[in-house]
Structure 1
Amino acid sequence: MKRYLPLLVMLTFWSAPPLQAQSAEASAAPAAEAGSPQKDSTGVQQFTLRNGMTLIVKPDHRAPTVAHMLWVRVGSMDEVDGTSGVAHALEHMMFKGTPSLAPGEFSRRVAALGGRENAFTTRDYTGYYQQIPAARLEEVMKLEADRFANNQWADDEFRREIEVIKEERRMRTDDNPRARLYEALNAAAFVASPYHRPVVGWMSDLDSMTADDVRQFWRAWYSPQNAAVVIAGDVTPAQALALAQRYYEPIASRALPARKPRLEPQQVGLRRLDYKAPAEQAYVALAFKVPQLGTAAVAATATTAAPSDTSADDDALALTVLAAVLDGYPGARLERALTQGERRVADSAGAYNGLMGRGPQMFVLDGVPAAGQSPEAVEAALRAQVKRVAEQGISEAELQRVKTQWVASEVYKLDSVFNQANELGRYWVQGMPLDASERLIKRLRQVTAAQVQSVAARYFGDDQLTVATLRPQPLDPQRPRAAKPTGRHASP
């Protein structure tokens, strides 16, 4: 798999969740009241409205455009067995109306304002966004506040939409062998963690889901103190605060359900599964349980105080560097060793590390066997490359290259106000400070080659490993290949 993304993008895009005994609300740094906003060195300001909702504003006046995002700290990990997929179903239903908006009217109005909009559901959070001309910010905030507080639709509307969601599952998962393999991999790797369940939901749960299941989930979790509005672009903090106080602050808060830890028990042996599906090529994925970066560790980097034990945090960063050394740029180790030359074993090979999230994290190695090669050969070759790092270490040149990429990503992200807002929202979900990216870069620069070698030696044994192998079955010539989903409000 050719990823070649800057390290900071890897960090935010691939982070799939770490379960903590505290809820994210409890671990987050306290936000400032509206009269005394938090600030960082780049001009970002954070406010807390009287109802507990967070407002984060990042001015960027290079173009007359604004990205407006609403983040809700709830995702599939907050569901209970029997209602998997309800967080994603609610995301769909948020476009189906309020007492003042007909179904679909929200999207039509944003388009009429010259904007684009969409939404996404993940394990950790749900997000809604619009990118619009700066002069239209007030209209969008009014629309978003209305549907957050007053989501309303008829049962018939839900019955139609749940069929759309089931078709989305068929196209994205059931008709995609690799997606089905990862669904089975997560179900095997995670026992107690809610990451055991797919974001889109099991089909049997979708079949039995009711309109009231979705309404109850909305009433339980869509409360102001569980949400943040993030605005980046051609706007001033004072302007954004005044609008937020007008449209979001009147929304009444409700008590949130208790978040129980549901900690994943320690894995004590290798887990292996074969998945048979019609496919043209085999595929293998190796998922290792690894530590994640703690919220407190990031918050402490800019102060004289340090966490009492930073070993797990240091290891999480070193594992992220290891992933980049293996597969972070053209010509990285896996590409050279597995996919090139006459004796190549793979058509593609990749590595990524889940650095942080609300649930447990994994380091994944994967590959597609070359013609005449087996998944077992690819598995062995992937593990051999990690073993080589464990035994021989990495060069300073490799280390400096990935660190330079991370720093460069700070420049790249400024090209898009959407990316800036997206990053701030992701960090808010994790309870990170406003300047988390700067602090993470500071910590990354401190990672040594010896640390990378050490984690390669300690985290890639059988006891923390789950291996999933796709075993291709004959393709049915009578069955057309699945088309790429085109739904506008599907989970990513």
Structure 2
Amino acid sequence: MSTTIVPSTETIESAVLDNGLRVFVKPDRRAPIAVSQIWYRVGSSYEQRGLTGISHLLEHMMFKGTARYPEGAFSEIVSRQGSRENAFTGRDFTAYFEILAADRLPVAFELEADRMANLDIRAEALETEREVVLEERRLRTDDRPEGRFLERYASVAEAGTAYAHPIIGWADDIKAIDEDDLRCWYQQWYAPANANLVVAGAVDPSEVFELAEAHFGILQGPQAARPCDPRALVPPGERRLVYRDAQSRLTHLRIGYRVPSFATAETEDDAYALMMLAAILDGGEGGRLTDALVRGSRQATVIDASYNGMTRLDAEFTCHAVCPNTQTETLEQSLRSQIARLSAEPVSENELRRARSQLVADHFFSADDVFNQAMQIGQLEAIGAGWALFSEFEHKLQSITQGRLQAVAERYLKSENSVVGILSPIESDVKAV
């Protein structure tokens, strides 16, 4: 094993095995538990039309067994340890985890290493999981007006990128994927060189590295593949979607802006500034949008703003409102006026302090949980930003000035970067101009 140990102020240490597997360890000895997570750098944004949903479908198949541990054995063994396990698929990653007593970590490593190399992909198992996934899609998307709307919105908002299709995939693609497709996907992406192993909890880093070498170091596989897509695209201009749905009882308005993520920003300060701008607009009951458009003019019943910069491609800055009626023109104008204020005038010192305090509190509250500590490392590594990005989170937020917020708002929150989406009852007269 060739290891490069990288200590940090947050006591995260890392190593790289000879086969390319990267291992990250975050000790936290407050309780005798450990979290083990395997992150594969592949998700729905790596897919093309015809194979959408294959990453999520393969996640399901990873629980269908190997020659050594047949179907059901993995979960049974983990359960006998008094532990929990599950998995999730995102746009940029697929991850598997176990939460267990710290001295049971070898069990998790043995099981994960086995299915990293020896998954048994069988036709009958695929047919079972295909139906499970299609039912999941029906429940989450096809049978919900908001779900149908958000899929259509994403296809417009993310035009030109692989974020334009849903993580779960289009139904016709899910139905068409066969065993050969899954085997090829598995062999291409499920290799040590394309995986990150993250462990957090009551563990010793040197012991984790030795354990990882014993279980994963013997595995071989291809070099990490690279997706063929641009990391940043020039937005195609202002876009608009009006979707009328007979089952919708409420009118929803979304305005989104193509903005950089932590991985694509020219400087990470831009991403931190976008976080703060979202907190200034939203910020719960103290945010500008709630104060002006819910309590004030009563143009909306629910309103929020969000920015998720944890993506490997460009991100979206979004404002969303639920309207008490089907007339959205006035609300859209009011919402755009609130956004325009961000670049037209400096935010107040009180707003600046409140946004910082809220973000810092949320960050450290989340990081107090050992599972979330591992999640943050895994996600930052999966998107290519690197785990050290948040090592000075509070200091970075303190360095964002009123002038920086104005400049970032002026650069990114403008009409030519935007998309408007409206979900309305089918009898509505919402205008598309």
Same fold (TM over 0.5): yes
Report the count of equivalent residues.
Answer: 426
Residue type matched to 1:444 in 2? L
- What is the aligned counterpart of 1:165 among 127, 133, 137? 133
Q: Which residue is 2:329 aligned to?
A: 376
In the aligned structure 1, how far is the partner of 2:213 from the partner of 2:231? 38
- What is the aligned counterpart of 2:293 among 338, 346, 349? 338
- What is the aligned counterpart of 1:328 among 274, 280, 283? 283
- Unpaired segments ≥5 residues, structure 1: 1-31, 298-308, 475-492
* In the alignment, structure 1 residue 421 sits paired with structure 2 residue 374: yes
Whether the 8 Å contact between 2:360 and 2:393 is mirrored in structure 1 is no
Q: Which residue is 2:123 aligned to?
A: 155
> For 1:322, what is the secondary structure of its paired residue?
helix
Residue type matched to 1:137 in 2? L
In the aligned structure 2, how far is the partner of 1:240 from the partner of 1:314? 34
Residue 244 of structure 1: how far off its partner (Å): 0.6
Matches within 5 A, 1:42-61: 42-61=10-29
The higher-RCO structure (CA 8 Å, 6+ apart) is: 1
- What is the aligned counterpart of 2:239 among 268, 271, 275? 271
Residue 354 of structure 1: how far off its partner (Å): 3.0
Whether the 8 Å contact between 1:191 and 1:264 is mirrored in structure 2 is no
Residue 91 of structure 1: how far off its partner (Å): 0.4
> For 1:151, what is the secondary structure of its paired residue?
coil
Residue 293 of structure 1: how far off its partner (Å): 2.9
Q: Give me the identity figure in percent.
A: 36
- Unpaired segments ≥5 residues, structure 2: 428-433
> For 2:295, what is the secondary structure of its paired residue?
coil
Q: Which residue is 2:352 aligned to?
A: 399
Residue 404 of structure 1: how far off its partner (Å): 2.1
Q: Which residue is 1:304 aligned to?
A: none
- What is the aligned counterpart of 1:88 among 39, 56, 59? 56
Whether the 8 Å contact between 2:279 and 2:359 is mirrored in structure 1 is no
Q: 1:147 to 1:433 in 2, by over 3 A?
A: same
In the aligned structure 2, how far is the partner of 1:152 from the partner of 1:400? 54
Matches within 5 A, 1:396-475: 396-473=349-426
In the aligned structure 2, how far is the partner of 1:133 from the partner of 1:454? 49
Whether the 8 Å contact between 1:99 and 1:152 is mirrored in structure 2 is yes
Matches within 5 A, 1:40-439: 40-262=8-230, 265-277=233-245, 278-294=247-263, 310=267, 313-341=268-296, 343-370=297-324, 372=325, 374-439=327-392
Task: Give CA-to-partner distance per residue, 1:256-311, whole Å, 9 cap, x none.
Answer: 4443234665234321111122111010111111123347x8xxxxxxxxxxx64x
Residue 409 of structure 1: how far off its partner (Å): 3.5
Whether the 8 Å contact between 2:263 and 2:385 is mirrored in structure 1 is no
Residue 414 of structure 1: how far off its partner (Å): 4.0
Whether the 8 Å contact between 2:251 and 2:326 is mirrored in structure 1 is no
> For 2:285, what is the secondary structure of its paired residue?
coil
CA RMSD of aligned residues (A): 1.9
TM-score, structure 2 as length reference? 0.93
Q: 1:459 to 1:433 in 2, by over 3 A?
A: closer
Q: 1:240 to 1:444 in 2, by over 3 A?
A: same
> For 1:41, what is the secondary structure of its paired residue?
coil
TM-score, structure 1 as length reference? 0.82
Task: Give CA-to-partner distance per residue, 1:49-85, whole Å, 9 cap, x none.
Answer: 1111011111111111111100011111111221100
Task: Give CA-to-partner distance per residue, 1:349-386, whole Å, 9 cap, x none.
Answer: 1111232421121111110002x462323222221211
